Structure 1
Amino acid sequence: MIFKVLYQENRAEVPVRENTKSLYVEASTEREVRFHLKDRNYNIEFIQLLEGNHLAYEQASENFKVESLD
């Protein structure tokens, strides 16, 4: 499954919408995604499972690069 993670790069800063970034992670569960990203200093705002038309829409974006949990 592919998850979209919305996050701020610095956990200590106040979240600002304009600074929100996203990344795509391939994992079995949301818990695996959180575990994989725990060592990064990210302020995770939201993790969303992508499937169906939403996944197809995101895949059409030039910024779509999936990070694997190796």
Structure 2
Amino acid sequence: MAHRQRRSLFRPCIDLHNGEVKQIVGGTLHEDDASRLQTNFVARRHLQIGGGITVDNAQEWLDAGASKV
């Protein structure tokens, strides 16, 4: 029987928290202690999205006002 290698799945998660778009480190958001919150990324300006943008639909995003894709 061949040995099967386990692979991790990366599931990015962008959250809205206190009016900001953030990538929060899993398990660090606690209602009773906000000082424990850790982030990998906080958007300081505008909305940022990731995924689903392709060469076929990039122009639509630019036409809609995106500064870059």
TM-score range, shorter chain: under 0.3
Q: Which has the higher contact order (CA 8 A, sep 6+)?
A: 1
Structure having the higher helix fraction is 1
